[in-house]
Amino acid sequence: MSATENKYAFGMIGLGVMGRSLLLNMADHGFAVAGHDKDTGKVDSLNQEAGDRAAKGFADVKEFIQSLTTPRAIMMLVPAGKIVDAVIEELTPLLDKGDILIDGGNSHFTDTNRRVEELEAKGLHFFGMGVSGGEEGARRGPSMMPGGDKDAYAVMKPIFEAIAAKVNGEPCVTYIGPGASGHFVKMVHNGIEYGIMQVIAETYEILKKGLKVSNEEIGELFAKWNEGRLQSFLLDITKDIFKYKAPGTDHLLLDDIKDEAKAKGTGKWTSQVAMDLVTPIPTIDTSVSMRDLSKYKSVREKASAIYNEPIELQGDKEELLVALEQAFYFTSIVTYAQGMHLLTKASEEFKYDLHLGEIAKIWRGGCIIRSAFLSDIYNAYSKDQTLPHLLLDSDIAALVKETLPGIRKVLSATTAAGVGAPGYASALSYFDAFRSERMPSNLTQAQRDYFGAHTYELIGKEGTFHTQWAPAND
């Protein structure tokens, strides 16, 4: 796919950091590429960075379209929502039947479903593709999750496999499934990302407030953990954060950053659809809630003045650090397991026919949630493609049993000391309910029948039943 008569084989709309980085990645691999952005500054940046590579930026959309070989292949990397629809509306009159349009942003999967139908009716090939890895991933090798038009993906496969991150020589990209499956999988990826980030933040809180560990020691501990079974991209960048001091200062930049976390919505979407699919993902839900709670800074300050009390974990420090590593690993396992369970249910509900082992495989490199543990997930689903829940795999179960004492010890200590650890707590509570052969939900059913005549079912007897629970009036 080289330039032919000054024509380019692939086009990108949106030349922000991600779009520009992906184009340059493609150019590095010998593909002739063009980009378009209404911001002439971004167009100029691409042209300057391209150097002698076969990559060119265009400020005029018609010139951009005319520069592409046919059938055209164009990817959009613009903010999700109305902007995507606006770009599609502007593009479609300029395109011909058979052209390929790709949405590489974080679009909500329901929007992707709608766009698939609308563009198919116009004779255009369309698919949504999740892209993970941030700026560095886009430039050096991302993880990509394309879903939708399978024929269109087959055309794009050589480019995507060339630019993807590689693990053991295998590209971190695979066809996910029909419809909006690519964007759905990326959404769940982001939900897992929320969960792991929350656990890291809580670990920081436990170390700093509960164990009075210095920033330097925290950074060293994260670096040590990152060399073992907890190895992950998120832990790797965290250890770097604990080294960075702004020029001219003698303290960590981290200490100057407001404790009010922002979000773009993909975590919330994950929680919303999980509820629609009746699939519990409480650790991910909690992580979304804690970002929301962080925004109420003034309220928290007032509450702190009212409820302030000394905080210090009791117990042997070294023993607690060992337990904390176990607790971190346990909670990571449960967070991934919740995400994979949601993918299992979505595959059934939406007929995605997801291959969870392949999804875990492409997440091992390039993406934000890449970790050593993903190889264990890949192995679990490779053994049993119909595994209903990751925690039922025997090898995963062995890891869970090994780390259970740690999570129980840590939560006992944090609860007694008054250190908030909602992500950790949600993971353990989920697990303890998950392993319960008989939950107390029979009482819930009895209550529902009492106040609303909603009926209940009986053990070993077919049918539904209703009871007049209130005692008769004397």
133 known ligand binder: yes
Q: Which of 42, 56, 186, 409 is catalytic?
A: 186
d(CA 152, CA 269): 27
d(CA 423, CA 191): 13
291 known ligand binder: yes
Q: What is the CA radius of gyration of the chain?
A: 25
Q: Which of 42, 56, 193, 325 is catalytic?
A: 193
452 known ligand binder: no
Minimal CA–CA distance to 387: which of 142, 56, 395? 395
Cβ count near 310 (within 10 Å): 6
The token pair that represents 346 in the structure block:
């979505």
CA 254 to chain centre: 23
Assign residue 71 a region (left: φ > 0; alpha: ψ between -120 and 50; beta: otherwise): beta
308 known ligand binder: no
264 known ligand binder: yes
Helix, coil or strand: residue 166: strand
**CA 357, 268, 193, 366 torsion: positive or negative?**
positive
- Residues 160 and 93 sit within 8 Å (Cβ to Cβ): no
Whether 383 is a known active-site residue: answer no
Whether 239 is a known active-site residue: answer no
189 known ligand binder: yes
190 known ligand binder: yes
d(CA 365, CA 224): 21
Q: CA triplet 242, 245, 246: central angle to 5 degrees? A: 140
134 known ligand binder: yes
132 known ligand binder: yes
Q: Specify binding-site residues.
A: 106, 132-134, 189-190, 194, 264, 291, 448, 454
Residues recognised as catalytic: 186, 193
Q: Specify binding-site residues for substrate.
A: 106, 132-134, 189-190, 194, 264, 291, 448, 454
